[in-house]
Amino acid sequence: MVFRRLREYVRFLKSLFRTTRRLCWGMWKLTSLPQPAITIFGGARVQLDSELAKKAEQLALLLARDGFSIITGGGPGIMEAANMGAFNAIKDCVIDGAHCAVREVSAGIGLVRLNRERVNPFVQKNIIMEHFFARKWLLVRYSVGFIVFPGGFGTLDELFETLTLIQCNRMARVPVVLFDSTFWNPISVWIEQQALARGLLSQEDAALVIITDSIAEAFSVIKQGATGQKKSVLHDETTVKE
């Protein structure tokens, strides 16, 4: 009995060491990105040529040009579109002959052996975790705002875990934007007619999310709500015009 428990304990310590090592490696890579950073969540099954993916790409492009780094889950679909937008911000900078301050503004945090997911070709810093909890910790640890596009169980899990962390004061009250009102409005109705009506949420908690279909509005909400100082990732200070 004792030997079995010791064996389990040693197995746990080995797993803990591997996880800690991967987390430290992921933190090291993420902190090399220009700060602040925005995390974009969304479904891996969204087609890259869809209107939704194109909007994710445009929004990530605007954010990267304005000085934000982009963090995603590193897979296909919305994640690939967002990483593409950030990649194109740097690509356009080089093509236009501007003096880019950095060459890497996006990261993808993937998971070992995750079904149906591959690392998309636009990820500039590829970070692979072994466990979901470690992956999600990195996805939220260095972000000052979140944009959530339509997705499945994984996307909903990431959204509600982020909201729970904010609600419980485990992270700052950063902006959380839900993009695509057709997809998210039923959840808004549930919050109003069920959770709020039954006293399961406060009005303050219900106001944590903003639903929009506008790229301009999403960009404005993130820019106004993000905390901390930022410098453009696309230009040196001497080239930025007032």
Question: Looking at residue 240, what is its pLDDT?
Answer: 32
3-class SS at 60? helix
Give the whole-number percent of the chain exceeding pLDDT 70: 87
Q: Which CATH architecture has domain 2-227?
A: 3-Layer(aba) Sandwich (3.40)
pLDDT at 237 over 70: no
Q: With bands split at pLDDT 50, 70 and 90, how would you rate the model's confidence at 38? A: very high
The average pLDDT across 44-50 equals: 94
- Give yes or no for a contact between 75 and 122, defined as CB atoms under 8 angstroms apart: no
- Give yes or no for a contact between 79 and 56, defined as CB atoms under 8 angstroms apart: no
Q: With bands split at pLDDT 50, 70 and 90, how would you rate the model's confidence at 222? A: very high
